[in-house]
A and B are shown apart, each in its own frame.
Chain A
Amino acid sequence: MAELWEGSLEKIDDYRWRIPKSYKPGMRVPGIIYADEKLLKDIRHDKAAEQVANVAFLPGIVNASLAMPDIHWGYGFPIGGVAATDIENGGVVSPGGVGFDINCGVRLVRTNLQYEEIKGKKIEELANRLFSDVPSGVGSKGEIRVTSKEERGILIKGSGWAVSKGYGTEEDLECTEENGAIKGADPEAVSERAYERGKAQSGTLGSGNHFLEIQVIDQLYGRQDCDELGLDLGQVVLMIHSGSRGFGYQICDDYVKNMIHCLQKYNISVPDRQLACAPVNSPEAKQYLGAMRCAANYAWNNRQCLMHLARKAFEKVFFKSWQDLGMFLIYDVAHNIAKIEKHIIDGKERVLCVHRKGATRAFGPGHPALPERYKKIGQPVIIPGDMGRNSYLLAGTQKAMEETFGSTCHGAGRLKSRSAALRSVNFNVLLKELESKGIMIRASGRGTVVEEAPEAYKDVNEVVNVVHNAGIAKRVCRMRPLAVIKG
């Protein structure tokens, strides 16, 4: 572990802590960390809080450099960081504020299946089928083949490409952030190398913390909200976590390199080169945003293809169509992205560039960006936990609109480094432990499973308590894993 962070933190209330602007010369706004006293102790154990302060250097940043309770040490931005810059006042975009895995995100699919109907052999059959039919692992290649002309179509149409091929429905698009395709994607801003890295990876899960999970709902919080969403206790759901694969990594890499030169050109001073940035209105930023949106659309299409493959796997196991199995998409959210959004700042509507780096959009009820079906309850927010504990479905709130630019946490957040997990976790012991909890694992590599062991993560229940109690999302229901498919 890194040295203990001993910077100053002022208590605002039970769930918010301020790093004052005076902490470091150059900070334009304070930092605000959402956490309770217990989580704060973990947060002080690495350099995440220092990174919150560093992000406060970004030109045009408004209100505060924010951190969600799943915050941990990243590179440049902390993971769990939210920062919004005012475009008209020299606000910048930073590729490091989005990260390499552009539009890494998660989707939740409901089913009509009940845990009692599928427990035991059927879950095993399903896990085996998903593991064999959904390509996973490092550099895995997909069965869904895409020509280079089609690849450009994906970058513009996002999930709409998959739907046009029959890999889903219009309703799936309605239940995806940005309808599965953010506008303003510019395929011309994408390097040949990025095309080359992304060519065979559509419809692949990838490795690391990416996964596909069969889960069961084990706790309801809002009966009415659950009824609206068609969710009940004991119901089986499917969660998919993946991103833009090598395509997105290359775009981020290309543009961080490019924007290091912008620091001098636009006279910008930041304490970490990974925070390289450029004014949103500059040609460099426009090019980056055009390329980033291509990667975002690539990722939405990827998750749509993964869901299609998963639906087909369920069909093979249950001899029913996915529609008869009730496998409808609840929602799909991005958690590494920069978006141009309107928010109220000091009583006035401003156009902001909102960076969410390991954070989820959580728009409150009535927001015009939400589909009709979610206008009443607010945007569904999907929070994956670790493979041994829980995951959550939350809903966005008005308070999130007021305090966090409509953002909330994105997961449990890492606690232990991968090497620390490899040192302390035994693969066979872990597998037995998970088995005793009724959790089945299918993975391409042992290393990934050990690195992603539950003890390497914060307890997602504690993280969700904070966002719920702070009011920046509300709990809808909780799930526990039954089978985990990993790369």
Chain B
Amino acid sequence: MCNKGPLAQSVEQDTLNVKVDGSTPSWPTNPSLKNYEFIDHTADIGIRVKGRDLKGLFLNAAEAMFDIIAEPPVSVQGKQIIKTNVDLKADNSEELLVAWLSELLSLSYAKELIFYGFEIKQMDKNSLQAEASGINTEDCEIKTEIKAVTYHELKIEKTGSGWQAQIIFDV
């Protein structure tokens, strides 16, 4: 699906609204400044993630998930960037968080992309519109296969300094 090297113009793809463009934002993850911590779970992987507000929490959770999945490339310079729109609805913020991560995970496998940049354009407790930027899976070093995002022990809590969530992934 992806050509190597930067493209001069954006290309709209299929109904999922996947765009290809030539911009090359830098990979945001700094390994020494991870925005999440692992919580022990016998069979699977659990994380605790924080954010200043709900939007920040959702962005950090998405970054954390892909940080577990893939090693960031040294540079995305010259790599094709593919942008995907995500539009979701859910009954509450916890289910919206699972829907958000599940959709990104599922798109990642279906489209063979690793997402590294996220922009939430609109969100409230029940809905979210966002754009995710990804590069071809073949351009990344894959560390862990996350099979799914679970509802087990899912928690979103308000803390003194913002928001915190606990998520368990099936691996």
Query: How does the 8 Å CB contact mask read for B136-167 relative to A, with 1 for contact and 0 for none?
Result: 01000011110111111110000000000000
Name the residue of chain B whose CB is nearest to the CB of A141. B112
Contact string against A for B residues 98-133, beta-carbon threshold 8 Å, 1 for contact and 0 otherwise: 110010001001101000000000000000000000
Q: Does B171 contact A (CB under 8 A)?
A: yes
> A288 at interface (Cβ–Cβ under 8 A)?
no
Do residues B106 and A256 form an inter-chain contact, with CB atoms below 8 A? no
Nearest B residue (CB) for A248: B147
Q: Mark B76-93, 1 if CB is under 8 A from A, else 0.
A: 000000000000000100
Residues in B whose Cβ lies below 8 Å from that of A487: 145
A246-B109, A253-B106 known; A415 and B144 CB under 8 Å?
Answer: no
Q: Which residues of chain A are within 8 angstroms of B106 by Cβ–Cβ distance?
A: 193, 197, 250, 253
The docked-state distance in angstroms from the alpha carbon of A2 to that of B152 is 14
A180 within 8 A of B: no
> In the complex, are the beta carbons of B110 and A193 less than 8 A apart?
yes
- Asked whether A249 lies within 8 Å of B151 as measured between CB atoms, the reply is no
B16: min CB distance to chain A, Å: 10
A100–B170 CB distance below 8 A = yes
Query: Across the interface, which residues of A come within 8 angstroms of B42, CB to CB?
Result: 1-2, 46, 48, 72-73, 414-417
Contact B168 A75 (CB under 8 A): yes
- Is there an interface contact between B143 and A419, defined as CB atoms closer than 8 Å? no
Interface contact A273-B154, CB-CB below 8 Å: yes
Count chain B CB atoms within 10 A of each CB in A72, A206, A249, A257 and give the residue with the most: A249
Contact residues on A (Cβ < 8 Å of other chain), bracket: 35 or more
Listed residue (A75, A139, A250) with the most chain B CB atoms within 10 angstroms of its CB: A75
Is the beta-carbon distance between B102 and A72 smaller than 8 angstroms?
no
Tell yes or no: A447 within 8 A of B by CB. yes
Which chain B residue lies CB-closest to A75? Answer: B152
Q: Provide the residues of chain B in CB contact with A75, threshold 8 Å.
A: 44, 150-153, 168, 170
The reply on A252 being an interface residue by CB < 8 A is: yes
User: Given A138-B142, A274-B152, are A99 and B109 neighbors across the interface (CB < 8 Å)?
Assistant: no
CB distance from A207 to the nearest CB of B (A): 5
Contact with A along B7-38 (1 / 0, CB 8 A): 00000000000000000000000000000001
* Beta-carbon contact of B152 and A197 below 8 Å: no
Decide: A447 near B143, CB < 8 A? Known: A75-B44, A75-B150.
yes
Complex CA–CA separation, A249 to B150 (angstroms):
11
**Bound: A250/B170 CA distance, A:** 12
Q: Is the CB of A274 within 8 A of B43?
A: no
- Chain B contacts for A59, CB-based, 8 A: none
In this complex, the member of B44, B109, B112 whose beta carbon has the largest number of chain A beta carbons within 10 angstroms is B109
Q: Which of B41, B44, B106 has the most CB of A within 10 A?
A: B41
Residue numbers in B under 8 Å from A418 (CB-CB): 44-45, 171
A257 to B90, CA, bound (A): 10
| Given A196-B110, A273-B154, A419-B38; A139-B137 close (CB under 8 Å) | yes
- Let me know if A120 is at the binding interface, CB within 8 A: no
Assembly CA distance A365 to B143 (angstroms): 44
In angstroms, how far is the closest chain B Cβ from the Cβ of A192? 9
Cα(A273)–Cα(B153), bound, Å: 9
Question: Interface of B with A (CB < 8 Å)?
Answer: 38, 40-45, 91, 95, 98-99, 102, 106, 109-110, 112, 137, 142-145, 147-154, 168, 170-171
A-B complex: 6 closest residue pairs judged by Cβ atoms? A75-B152, A273-B151, A75-B150, A196-B110, A138-B145, A73-B42
Q: List 24 A-B contacts (CB under 8 A).
A: A2-B42, A46-B41, A46-B42, A73-B42, A74-B43, A75-B44, A75-B153, A75-B168, A76-B150, A100-B170, A193-B106, A249-B170, A250-B106, A253-B149, A272-B151, A415-B42, A417-B40, A417-B42, A417-B43, A418-B171, A419-B38, A445-B143, A447-B143, A487-B145
Given contacts A253-B106, A417-B41, 7 further A-B contacts (CB under 8 A): A46-B41, A73-B43, A79-B43, A138-B142, A139-B137, A208-B147, A420-B40
